[in-house]
Amino acid sequence: MQVRARTTRRSLLETAARLFDERGYAGTSISDISTRSGRTSGAIYFHYASKENLALAIVEEHFATWPELIARHRAARLPALDTLVALSFDVARAFRDDVVIRAGSRLWMERKAIDAALPTPFVGWTATVTELLEEARAEGTLAAAIDPGTAAHGVVCAFFGLHTVADALDGRSCIEERLHGLWLLLLAALQADPAPAALLSRVHDRAGAAEQCRPARPAGTGTARSGLAAVGAARAK
């Protein structure tokens, strides 16, 4: 029964996330979630006490995704700027491909309509980027004139601003190519010895090699390589 309850709860959360992503918080009702999920309103309220509670669960999962992703990149023990760039592409793909991530972002933007205390965004990202830039300075790869804290704020603003524009223009379908272009600009200022294209090429190559080491996916479950590797291949043509 516990497994079934967890499965149902997860299904409801993902259904609600799709609707919140499509229609926003105000445009989505428990009745809409019931219709889309095929579950009764009573079943929804059994798992989530209110629409606000459901929205909060989505936003909390959005925020909970990042520490694990950051830890995974940290564990690779790459140079700090390489880690920062590789991490950014994984985050970009999550925003493009994961409906819970997208819904969590939209719900936070609509937070004034939600009667629940939501986590504060960007603070954690700014701290993470600051740490990586401080490590880059210790490695000797950060330009001497760059202050890590100030630069981190700029990088976070540029990254999430890029997402806002990309979402408005094409639903983030070209986010990796746009992010590649952004890093060409940012790295030219951040690197002690500017070589943005070389760093991006290393990151793309590692992503492609990592993908080749993974077990083959069953048909229909995804592309044979990551979007990051695909961008690298496209740039090489």
Q: Over the stretch 67-113, which tens digit does the pLDDT of each residue have?
A: 999 999 999 999 999 999 999 999 999 999 999 999 999 999 999 99
Across 112-123, average pLDDT: 90
Is residue 105 within 8 A of residue 62, CB to CB? The reply is: yes
What are the residues facing 142 on neighbouring strands? 191
Compute the 3-state secondary structure of the chain and give helix, strand, coil in percent, each to the nearest 5.
75, 0, 25
Which domains are delineated in the chain?
1-48 (1.10.10.60), 56-236 (1.10.357.10)
Q: Over the stretch 193-215, which tens digit does the pLDDT of each residue have?
A: 999 999 999 999 988 766 654 44
Is residue 63 within 8 A of residue 54, CB to CB? The reply is: no
Q: Over the stretch 136-179, which tens digit does the pLDDT of each residue have?
A: 999 999 999 999 999 999 999 999 999 999 999 998 999 999 99
Mean pLDDT over each residue of the chain, to the nearest integer: 89
Phi, psi of 141 (to 5 degrees): -100, -5
User: Does the predicted TM-score (pTM) go above 0.85?
Assistant: no
